Amino acid sequence: MEKRIFVAIGVSIAFLWLWAIVAPRLFPELAKPAVKPTSAATSTSAPRTSASAGSPSGARIVPPSPAAIVAPRTEIEPVAAVSADAIRETVIETPDYVARFSNRGAQLVSFQLRNYRTHANGPVDLVKRRAASRTDYPFAIESASADVSRRLNSALYEVSELEDRGVRTLQYKFSSPDGLRATKTFRLGRNQYLFDFTIEVKAPSPYRVVIGPGIRNLEKRELANAALITGNGVVQREGKLKLLSREKGDRLSIFEESEFVGIEDNYFLTGLRPSKAGASTIRRVKFRGDGKSVREEIYAGLNATGEGSVTGSAFFGPKETHLLDNYGLGKMLQYGMFGAIARVLLAMLTWINQFTRNFGFAIIVLTIFIKVVLYPLQHKSIVSMKKMQKVQPKMEAIKSKYKKAKTDPEQRQKMNVEMMKLYQVEGINPMSGCLPILLQLPILWGFYNLLSRAIELRGAPFILWIHDLSEMDPYYITPVLMTITMFIQTWMMPSTGDPAQRKIFLVMPIFFGYFFKEMPSGLVLYWLVQNVLTILQQWIMNKWWKEHPAELAKE
């Protein structure tokens, strides 16, 4: 096998790994493809929104066309008017969250998580802030009639409250003389982050219940995180997950018989789990702000049944592994193709953290453990490279014998056969040098998905300037150290190829350093410790063979 094959293998592996990291950032639609209509999912266009001047948050919602909401029209009869005369907000507190409902539209206007903080040290609120004129908070009504939507979402509902054994029930009622009426009931406190809802509407046009647009307000530091993906739609059907990008795909996607529909980011999830409802929907809307700025946002919703009702439960909470598993939403964790590895790493990290009390030190301990486990393979790889270095003169002699191998296929085949015989005589496996790298890639990718999506590590500090292992190093110190150690590691490794090959491997640390500079600092810490341990291992082995040259022949 020629040396250029080794170069091609190394460059290909590095390229594929870098592409796996870069592609979701440059082309989000590759990572989260929009769902195309199937036999169980149809799609249609929903109209774009218009915006009031001056602010992106001033967008006005335009309801979808009647064709988009499939429930039949309901005949209504005049009834006595029921409404409140002033805006009233009800606050419900549990050990895990503080929920705030408004009787204007009977909507959820705030859902703050007690156990998760922003960088400003405030509670994380899973409901986005709105302009005062906005009436599209979670549990708003989207009707085929714009007038019905406006009236139901801006009306002041009459509210009654009941508490029984820790369960708080809020019931909102509204009716108008012309027969338009709605009742919304919420029951909170029975389950952690999960609460029940029942909505009944009598109107001349079909409707759906929606949450959105998007999920929570991001801080500037979070927006700078290259690994953060936010505001995409998720649908779970038959135990399988569908992802819908907020920037690409159909304006409206409809899914029959879904188990869950919602909106997510890396760490948090809001959504609806229907028990009695029509189809689930994901609607992508454009919001126009100052000047020419445009942003996409997603609404998740449930169509009403033919009787005009929607019942189910809502989840507003963190994407904790055990929590989502308990609710049957484990697919929402999205640790990628190496999700099983990521889950094992997370379990090990959390166990080690019980002793280190610092996830940064837990990563170091776990990295040492992984290094010990992979040591036999890495040792065999270095021995093979040493042997390749030792037989380099014989390999050059074979190449000089077949000078026309590059242009003559017959000579190239003969040269390869002679090379393979040399490998067999010397006991060399030319592929052994690639095996440790191939084994490292799933672990590295598992660590990447773990550190960028595991909420258990969100906000976890290390030491000194690293205050959050899930975010990039603000001063690029660890990426620089990682690049330097990669240079040292490459320089110390036995040379098995020509000078051109060595130059390529010496350039690779620059590429790795560039792409790692915006990666989670915990991932860079893992790779940095791996490099330091490899340098130490290589130094010991080089010293041993220098003092015991006969040992190489025994391997």
**Residue 331: what pLDDT?**
86
The DSSP H or E segment spanning 217 is: none
Scanning 136-243, the segments in alpha helix (DSSP H) are 146-154, 220-223
521 residue type, one letter = S
**Residue 51: what pLDDT?**
33
HEC string of 59-115 equals: EECCCCCHHHCCCCCCCCCCCCCECCCCCCEEEEECCCEEEEEECECCEEEEEEEEE
Tokens of 240: 């399988």
Pairing outcome for strands 309-318 and 268-276? antiparallel
43 residue type, one letter = S
**Residue 52: what pLDDT?**
33
Of 199, 162, 181, nearest in space to 275 by CA: 199
CA 369 to chain CA centroid, nearest Å: 27
Q: Are 238 and 332 in contact (CB under 8 A)?
A: no
Give the three-state DSSP class for 155: coil
**Residue 312: what pLDDT?**
96
**Residue 370: what pLDDT?**
85
**Residue 496: what pLDDT?**
52
pLDDT-flagged residues of the chain (< 50):
1-9, 11-13, 15-16, 19-67, 547-548, 551-552, 555
| Cβ atoms within 10 Å, residue 554 | 6
Distances (CA, A) of 149 to 203, 204, 507: 10, 11, 60
pTM: 0.75
Q: Are 327 and 319 in contact (CB under 8 A)?
A: no
**Residue 301: what pLDDT?**
95
Q: Are 284 and 249 in contact (CB under 8 A)?
A: yes
Q: Are 262 and 300 in contact (CB under 8 A)?
A: yes
Tokens of 509: 């640390």
In Å, the largest CA–CA distance within the chain is 102
Backbone angles phi, psi at 402, to 5 degrees: -115, 75
Residue recorded with tokens 């419900």: 92
**Residue 318: what pLDDT?**
94
- Classify the C-alpha dihedral 503-504-506-510 as positive or negative: positive
**Residue 47: what pLDDT?**
34
**Residue 493: what pLDDT?**
67
Which domains are delineated in the chain?
42-332 (2.70.98.90), 346-386+432-554 (no CATH), 392-427 (no CATH)
Q: How far apart are the first and last CA of the chain?
A: 22
Pairing outcome for strands 207-211 and 294-303? antiparallel
CA 454/CA 349 separation, integer angstroms: 11
